[in-house]
Structure 1
Amino acid sequence: MRKLACAYVRAVDGFNAGLGRLMIWGVFVMAGILLWSSASKAFFDPSLWTLEMAQFAMVAYYVLGGPYSIQMGANVRMDLFYAEWSHRKKAWVDAFTVLLLVFYIGVLIHGALNSTAYSLGYFGKNSYAFWWDLITAFVTGGPDAAKETMGYIERSPTAWRPYLWPIKAIMLFGFILMLLQTVSELIKDIARIKGEEI
């Protein structure tokens, strides 16, 4: 069991660390988009896509960088008492609070699944059935069969009118990675409670 837990922690931490280091460069992507927005307004015809694309880049930066932030302990926390505690006591408190975080991320994943299903044209109440049908159609019939499962694809109501499913899928993927990372943190906290390190 310990080998499996160590392999899980190494795999999740390694993937999220690599993705997090890549997402650090997202600040420059956002800055480039906003710089182009300013230049196009000053010297050319204003670009319709820049502000909304900057918002999408910010969402991707924040959500895909979140698991790395959790891994590095860079998230905001109240250090009034925590800094003075022993490693074991910190591990107990962290293990409890990680369970609360798992619940919260579970709610986010549920909402993201519903929102992404809506953006792919599903307007019913059971989005899980839609996802099952979509995956089954894709596996058995390929992309064309999956397209038949989808309805009217949601677009932004702005002048640019981009499809919204890609950013919603990125959010869903990021929330799943956050859940995997919180489980990794829980495994590390349980190991620290036992006096071990993973």
Structure 2
Amino acid sequence: MRLLLGLANAIDALSEGVGRVIAWLTLLVALLSAGNALMRYGFSYSSNAYLEAQWYMFSLIFLLGGAYALKKNAHVRIDLVYGRLSKRAQAWIDLLGTLLFLIPMALGVLYLAWPWAVNSFLTRELSPDAGGLPRWPIKLALLVGFALLALQGFSELIKRIAFLTGVYPLEQEGGE
């Protein structure tokens, strides 16, 4: 179990690192958004590349931020019942939800998106809009985002099993 908890800690560190990058990306997309609006309405200048860069960054925030949100326990859930349960019952719900829903969904998206993203990469797909950006990087980001989510799900699964077996106290985790 110690080896698996070490793996969970490494995955957690990866999610934390990606989360820090996403925080800066959020600032960057806000600045780019403001710059796009200023250029469009102040100087009557618009660029498809700037607009698509804004969309891509916004997409990256959600695609890559999912694992970080899961690690910080900041994901959406209905807490009316969950919040009133014991830590042990919460751990069971998390374990079953991760096993039955989260990991199969993330792996399913990876399976279905793989040929689509790889084809986009191999053909070096470009935006159909004049002056637009390449499309293949954002399609590959879909794979990276769901791979990170699956990894973080695996980390959470390890920690819940360790908690339920009395090896790991969940109270020590950040964000819980």
Question: Same fold judged by TM-score > 0.5?
Answer: yes
Q: Indicate the SS of the match to 2:137.
A: helix
CA RMSD of aligned residues (A): 1.4
State how 1:183-194 maps to structure 2 within 5 Å.
Answer: 183-194=154-165
**Distance of 2:84 and 2:58 partners within structure 1:** 35
**Distance of 1:88 and 1:35 partners within structure 2:** 46
What residue in structure 1 maps to residue 106 of structure 2?
105
The C-alpha deviation readout for 1:27-60, integer Å capped at 9, x for no partner, is 2111111112112222253223122111100111
What residue in structure 1 maps to residue 2 of structure 2?
3
What residue in structure 2 maps to residue 18 of structure 1?
17
Shifted more, 84-93 versus 158-167: the winner is 158-167
**Distance of 1:25 and 1:111 partners within structure 2:** 30
Q: Is the 8 A contact 1:88 1:195 kept in 2?
A: no
Q: Which runs of 4+ in 1 moved over 4 A?
A: none
TM-score, length-scaled by structure 1:
0.79
Q: Indicate the SS of the match to 1:81.
A: helix
Q: Name the % identity.
A: 32
> How far 1:79 moved relative to its partner?
0.9
State how 1:5-84 maps to structure 2 within 5 Å.
Answer: 5-41=4-40, 42-43=42-43, 45-84=45-84
Pick the structure with greater CA Rg: 1
**Distance of 1:22 and 1:37 partners within structure 2:** 22
What amino acid does structure 2 have at the position aligned with 1:95?
A: L
**Distance of 1:117 and 1:17 partners within structure 2:** 27
Q: Summarize the Cα distance change of 1:57–1:161 in structure 2 as closer, same or farther, 3 Å threshold.
A: same
> How far 1:13 moved relative to its partner?
0.3
**Distance of 2:44 and 2:94 partners within structure 1:** 53
**Distance of 2:163 and 2:64 partners within structure 1:** 27
Correspondent of 1:168 among 139, 157, 162? 139
What amino acid does structure 2 have at the position aligned with 1:79?
A: D
What amino acid does structure 1 have at the position aligned with 2:156?
A: E
**Distance of 2:23 and 2:113 partners within structure 1:** 23
> How far 1:160 moved relative to its partner?
2.1
TM-score, length-scaled by structure 2:
0.89
> How far 1:161 moved relative to its partner?
3.0
Q: Is the 8 A contact 1:71 1:185 kept in 2?
A: yes
Structure 2 unaligned blocks of 5 or more: 170-176
**Distance of 1:85 and 1:75 partners within structure 2:** 18
What amino acid does structure 1 have at the position aligned with 2:65?
A: G
Q: Indicate the SS of the match to 1:80.
A: helix
The C-alpha deviation readout for 1:116-168, integer Å capped at 9, x for no partner, is 12202xxxxxxxxxxxxxxxxxxxxxxxxxxxxx4x32111112232111111
